[in-house]
Amino acid sequence: MADRKYNMVSIIRKKREGNSLTKEEIQYLIQSYTSDQIPDYQMSAFLMASFLNGLNSDEAASLTHSMLHSGIIVDLSHVSGKKVDKHSTGGVGDKLSLILAPIVASCGVPVPMISGRGLGHSGGTLDKLESIPGFTVDITLDRYKEIIKKHNLVLAGQTEEIAPADKRLYALRDVTATVESIPLIAGSIMSKKLAEGIDALVLDVKFGSGAFMKNIEDAKELAQTLVSIGEQFGKETIAYLTNMNQPLGHAIGNWLEVKESIDCLKGNGPDDVMEITHLLAGTMIYLGAKAGSIAEGIEMSREAIENGSAFQKWIDIVEEHGGDIRVIKNPDQYPKVKFRVDVPSPGSGMITKMDTYAMGMISLELGAGRRSKEDDIDPQAGIMLHKKIGELVERDETFATLYTNKEESIDDAVQNLQAAIELADKMQNPLKSITHRVDKEGIHEYQ
């Protein structure tokens, strides 16, 4: 039964007028919505009022608290050591989880990783993992606990028990134009992460054309909100601001990214991917108390790649989740895509800009993403970039290759990809991959 002390219309009005809600009002809202006592139209009105008038830090923390407690908090006390996870706010070509999770686990820090699916232009870890034949991310809570105990690592999807309020609210935000709100995003992310049973968290907050936060100021605000919520819940939280003005690495698309991750784990990864991977992994190793500083954690991360222990951990975890390790050991055995099309450069010069959002959408149209929740993903589809920002190309030189099984998507993809790069004589300002660290002490420029 809905608590008669509260009235949904009054709560919506209060937020509409720009006033702050109490912890109890927010709790009523989330509990009643999750138990079907508040209809979608009233929750939509509340979401829009919150989107327009914002939520202060106490309200954001109360929202996170109520969403977290709409489900269970996984008890991982049977696993020794500090458990640390990483979350990214989403980007294009972002395969970092696949690389850093086995690195960190192989350094002795348990990583309970619950990931999501691709959202619009941005890819999702679960879709990438499922591109490995046989790999299953839909596991029970008991199995989740068993796998992390055995391997210091588990890679799973969100279950019904984990922050069910977020699942419903996210679906509603998606269709009411209320996704891009900093406190709503923060509540959504943190309620899921806190439910995993972690002790500490590293956040990769992306900004730029391929990120949800297009400008760095919004990304800073999101990072501060996320860190402040994490700390309020007693979890050490460190965030980095990273640049999404070009895709990460060369591969965009599910299997293509798994393949690039294998290269990374074997020590042959692209510099931009490895720089961020080692920083995030090093920070996780430090927060997991296996290194005395972030710098020492970074050293351990590099060592785990060099001595092969991270790659061995990756093989073990793929096998545990039912994945076919033959294609991990020998990626050339993966089934071949029907169409591979080289894309010629529309001019000569230096690539100075990439429309990363457009590249994510082109990859989606080639089959790598979903237009609606029901769409199937084509694991083979995507784009390989042979040139990145700061590199020179000649007219008609191949700067990218498309991979698809949808012949009808090819012509548009070629044209759109050519339109997604800008060429000039030289770059004004080189791109910096990592710009800031945000922790409980504040924002620090990253050197």
Question: Min. distance of Cβ 87 from ligand URA in angstroms?
Answer: 8
- How far is 33 from 30, CA to CA, in rounded Å? 5
Residue carrying structure tokens 């391997």: 151
Q: Are strands 200-207 and 236-243 parallel, antiparallel or unpaired?
A: parallel
In the residue annotation, 69 being an active-site residue is answered as no
- Least separation in angstroms between residue 346's CB and ligand URA is 33
* Residue 372 annotated as catalytic: no
Chain centroid to CA 309:
24
Q: Tell me if 237 sits within 8 A of 61, measured CB to CB.
A: no
Single out the catalytic residue among 88, 106, 181, 188.
Answer: 188
DSSP character for 236? Answer: E
At position 327, the amino acid (one-letter code) is V
* Closest CB 192 distance from ligand URA, rounded Å: 6
Q: Footprint of ligand URA on residues 80-119 (CB under 6 A)?
A: 90, 116
Enclosing H/E stretch for 306: helix 294-306
Residues 6+ apart with CB under 8 A from 80: none
Q: Which is nearer to ligand URA, 187 or 297 (CB)?
A: 187
Task: Output the CA torsion 193→88→403→312 (10° steps).
Answer: -70
Mark 165-194 with x for binding to ligand URA (rule: CB under 6 A) and - for no binding.
-----x--------x-----x--xx-----
The shares of helix, strand and coil residues in the chain, as percent rounded to the nearest 5, are 45, 15, 35
Catalytic residue from among 65, 151, 173, 436: 173
173 as an active site residue: the answer is yes
Catalytic one among 127, 166, 378, 439? Answer: 166
Please tell me the distance from the alpha carbon of residue 226 to that of residue 232, in angstroms, as a whole number.
10
- Which residue lies nearer to ligand URA by CB, 187 or 323? 187
Shortest distance in whole angstroms from residue 281 CB to ligand URA = 21
Quick check: 301 binds ligand URA (CB under 6 A)?
no
Active site residue 166: yes
Does 188 qualify as catalytic in the annotation?
yes
Between 222 and 317, name the residue whose CB sits nearer to ligand URA.
222
Catalytic residues: 87, 166, 173, 188, 192
Contact set with ligand URA (CB under 6 A):
90, 116, 170, 179, 185, 188-189
